[in-house]
Amino acid sequence: MKSIVGQPIKSVTELADGWANTAYSIVLSDGTPLVLKVAPAKDKPLMRCEQNNMRTEVEALRLVAKSANVPVPRVLSYDPSCSLVPCEYFIMEYIQGTPLNKIKASLSEEELAAVQEEIGVYNKRINTIQGETFGLLGRPERGRMTWKEVFHSMIEGVLADGEEIGVVFPESYGEIRRQMLRHFDALDEVKVPYLVHWDLWEGNVFIQDGKVSGIIDFERAFWGDPFIEFFFGRFGASPAFERGYGRSITTEGEQRRRLLYNLYLDLILVIECEFRKYTDQKHIAWTYENFKTGFEQLVTRF
């Protein structure tokens, strides 16, 4: 470990909230706190949407730190060579505070609304960073693909993961594809690629003294439609977030796109249980019920 951080270490603690990448809280001998993130071993099964996540996160963090006034940890070093250890890793600043999901229940309505509005402000700043082409960071698509083509590829990757690992849904894969394709024309409305965090949920927002102190985990970032962000979905939507962001989903086209984005997440939540070998039957059952909700909305709302 000393060969990675370059000086003596006082303590190392694994941060157990992640899955694909392993994170460690490190305190150096001089008291400086850091975070080390290590990519999974190459033989660990990952979904297609989880490939090259470390390179994606480093690139996104550097982009946001350079181009937007958003509290993100500064990347101090990144080594994709696998020469010191047999995995990619990077070191970043330690963010002070507590994840919002862990303190949400202790906040008053007013305190929570203030935090949600601040998240909306920061999420908007992330989404103002404009790219040249749609697609995943660290995995540029060939040519200048449209958002419809890129999102179709993303969906097909998730469905292929489910088919290959043997996940059975209440609806056939053919019917899921057919119902999603009915709404794909709404994706043509998206003309400009913007940086999307996508995994900006309450667990990835740190709070200190009632304010947002940091936003982390950009490993799933891509160039796409900002309305795919978590807080525009049915789990995280709130008037306070929309007030801070300055936009809300209003038109039919936007609503239809959001139904697609909801189901994209719903599919991942089910399929990742098999990849991650989850044993919590209550959670697994919830993911299927959640899928049913998302699919029914996709079928019946328009």
Tens-digit pLDDT profile for residues 206-247: 999 999 999 999 999 999 999 999 999 999 999 999 999 999
**Cα distance between residue 148 and residue 154, in whole Å:** 10
Is the pLDDT confidence value at 140 over 90?
no
**Neighbour order of strands in the sheet with 9-15:** 9-15, 22-28, 33-38, 89-93, 75-79
Alpha-carbon span 79 to 244, nearest angstrom: 36
Q: What whole-number percentage of the chain has pLDDT above 90?
A: 78
Look at residue 244 in the predicted model and tell me its pLDDT: 98
Task: Determine the pLDDT at residue 194.
Answer: 97
Model-level pTM? 0.93
**19: pLDDT confidence band, cut at 50, 70 and 90?**
low
> Over 70: is that where the pLDDT of 1 sits?
no
Mean pLDDT of the chain: 92
Residues 237, 129, 156: CA angle, nearest 5 degrees: 65
First to last CA, the chain: 55
Candidates 222, 38, 31, 229; CA nearest to 119 is: 229
Token pair, residue 98, equals 């507590």
Bridge partner residues of 215 (DSSP): 205
What is the reported pLDDT for 4? Answer: 62
Q: Which of 6-15, 124-133, 185-194, 212-221 has the lowest mean pLDDT?
A: 6-15
Least confident of 13-22, 118-127, 208-217: 13-22
Question: What is the number of alpha carbons within 13 Å of residue 225 lying toward its C-beta?
Answer: 25
Instruction: Please report, for the chain, the start and end positions of each structural domain, with discontinuous segments joined by +.
Output: 2-93, 98-300
Task: Quickly name the fold that domain 2-93 has.
Answer: Phosphorylase Kinase; domain 1 (3.30.200)
List the structure tokens of 140.
Answer: 């540029």
pLDDT of residue 51: 84
Contact 275, 165 (CB under 8 A): yes
Residue 58 banded pLDDT, cuts 50, 70, 90: very high
CATH assignment of 98-300, given 1.10.357.10, 3.90.1200.10, 3.20.20.20, 3.40.50.150?
Answer: 3.90.1200.10
What's the pLDDT tens digit per position in 147-175? 999 999 999 999 999 999 999 999 999 99
pLDDT at 80: 87
> Could you give the CA distance from residue 226 to residue 232 in angstroms, rounded to a whole number?
9
Are domains 2-93 and 98-300 of this chain identical in fold?
no
